[in-house]
Amino acid sequence: MRQVLILSLLLMTSFISWTQKEDDNLKEYFLDAEFFLAQEQYVDALYDYMELYNGGYQDNANINYRIGICYLHIPGQKEKSIPYLLESIKNIKNDNRDSEFREARAPMDAYLYLGNAYRINNMLDKAIEAYGNYKKFLPSSDKTGLSYINNEIEACSAAKEYLSNPVEIRKTNLGEPINGNSSNLKAVISGDGNTLLYMNELPFYDAVYYSVLKDGAWTEPLNITPQIQSDGDQYVTSVSYDGTVLYLTREDNFNSDIYLSHLKDGLWQKSEPVSKNINSKYWESHASISKDGKTLYLASNHKGGFGGTDIYKSILDETDEWSVPVNLGSVINTPLNEDTPFITEDGKQLYFSSQGHRNMGGYDIYKSTLDENGQWSKPENLGYPINTTDDDLFYYPLDNGKAGYLSFYDPKGFGKEDIFKIQIITPELLQEEIAEMVKEDVEEEEVTQQVEEELPKTAEEMIESEVAEIEKTEETPVKPEEVAAEEKPEEAIPVETKPVEKIKEILLSPIYFGFDRYELTAESKAKLEQIAPLAKEIPNLSFELIGLTDAIGSASYNKLLSERRAQATRNYLLSAGIDPGRLVAVGYGETRFAAINANPDGTDNPEGREYNRRVEIEIKGEDLKKIMIKRFEIPDHLRIK
């Protein structure tokens, strides 16, 4: 009996230990997911939350709530948020500790997100019901919250009207190479239409891309994030009319400021802050420059505004200093948020997004016109389908508003969000197109008439012309020197000897990373810079980038970390111009150790672990014999015996 009791205790202890280990692993997923959610990296956060969901947390309202938020922010998958948010509202309490691993209840905001999910998917009556339930949780003192939720309820009613009365538009996907399998957005273009800049959401950071129009087609976009020296925290807002000055916002968790970069000798320079009068301790989220470069329209939550983010204007004075921004007033700004203002070339039309004017839900895009007295007209909603029941931001007007660039998800598109050119079909536009077609028909008729005049008018004339040419050839005597030239033997053509190709020697050192980091250091970037010339010189080489970690951390987390290291390396090589098809990034986690992780006595060996936090570069291809690869050697005292 005593032996049975001891065995039972051992099994129970083993089970408790195993359960504790499982809980620790799941908690790591939760903490990772919380980090990604705070960084608005919804795909990464969703991966970790789903690990929890599939690990026994299907009935946890808090996890369902967070999964719903993630899906609600992923283009093309927003409808998937609804069942998770419906599950989350089954267990709601106002005082929940939603950021704690053990919390099983969802916050009252679950009703708000459920309302948003219904609205975005055009289930408008259900959205109104969910918003009404959320409103019950709001205290009467929360004026901002009540104003927002009342606005969203009214927006659902307005959306029914806009959806039943769509405006006629023509949308054109910019196609490849501009659009790809990721999100491409925030496109701006120079006045001559030849310079395009936009954002590309890469796996681990947001990159600034640059393309120019040559022979009627866009060149392969160049990642200029390294040129402007961004850490993936700078975002395109506008470009000067001549295409040589790029305006950006630089954002972190606490502040956003306006920066600019100049194009010099074909390279974009390091971005610099615009002005102390423009940038402040408040959030400057956007800037649009006028055609003459002397007026800046910006969005900011400056103190003293009408509420949330407002639109301001600043003037460049004779000393090249920007004036203190002036609020555009209550016609443009509302108690809610206004953002992404753009001024047209003629300076008379302002396009912007707003939550506060009558809309279809979230942000809608509006147009306001400047009259002769310098007053802005009441903003006009651009209507459906330019505006939707989702957030609609960053409409870049072209040709004084006759067209514009806008990014959105299209099931038939190239990626998550594509850049489209939008034209609103108006009677004026149709008249212009008809006039252009008539002009082209007249020009074509003139060319046809000219060609007909140059050709023989009848078949008989064509035959007579050919006979006359033959007779002329037969009557022409052949000169003796021409015969001699024909009989002269051909001279031997010297055979060119190709020089012996030299074997290129390359030191292929791994790319090392800091603990729990996947950002490239300056030293790592310098190592990678020798790969780009090699790839261009020998075009059939391909490169496998193998991400690895040390032994600290869970195997699942290290696997993910190793993949991020490999992808960060690939992204840098892509920015150097190497074809994506020649770069493969894989992660093997805590395997393939190059050095020891611990000393023989079991104590930690930080020096050895440094050599294990790396990306190995494997080169493959038919012309591999043209290079001699030298490998970096691990110090003897750190090698695995």
Domains and CATH numbers, the chain: 28-137 (1.25.40.10), 169-430 (2.120.10.30), 504-638 (3.30.1330.60)
Q: How would residue 492 be classed by pLDDT, with cut points 50, 70 and 90?
A: very low
Residue 245 CA to residue 260 CA, distance in Å, equals 7
User: What type of residue sits at position 78?
Assistant: K
How far does CA 292 lie from the centroid of its chain? 29
Under a CB-based contact definition with an 8 Å cutoff, are residues 339 and 352 in contact? yes
Sole residue written with tokens 């150097």: 576
Quote the DSSP letter at residue 90. Answer: T
User: Which residue, among 300, 272, 274, 299, has the nearest Cα to 288 in the 3D structure?
Assistant: 299
Q: What is the pLDDT of residue 541?
A: 85
> pLDDT tens digit string along 37-51?
988 889 899 999 999
Of 110-119, 184-193, 499-508, the least confident: 499-508
User: Which residue, among 125, 113, 109, 115, has the nearest Cα to 159 in the 3D structure?
Assistant: 125
pTM value?
0.66
> pLDDT tens digit string along 393-403?
999 999 999 99
Pairing of strands 504-508, 627-631: parallel
* pLDDT surpasses 50 at 77: yes
| Three-state secondary structure call for residue 244 | coil
Residue 350 CA to residue 354 CA, distance in Å, equals 12
Residue 234 CA to residue 287 CA, distance in Å, equals 13
Residues 459-473 have a mean pLDDT of 52
Rounded percentage of the chain residues whose pLDDT exceeds 90: 52
Residue 302 CA to residue 309 CA, distance in Å, equals 8
Residues 445-458 have a mean pLDDT of 57
Task: Calculate the average pLDDT of the chain.
Answer: 85
Q: How would residue 161 be classed by pLDDT, with cut points 50, 70 and 90?
A: very high
CB atoms within 10 A of CB 566: 26
Residues 10-37 have a mean pLDDT of 67
* pLDDT surpasses 60 at 461: no
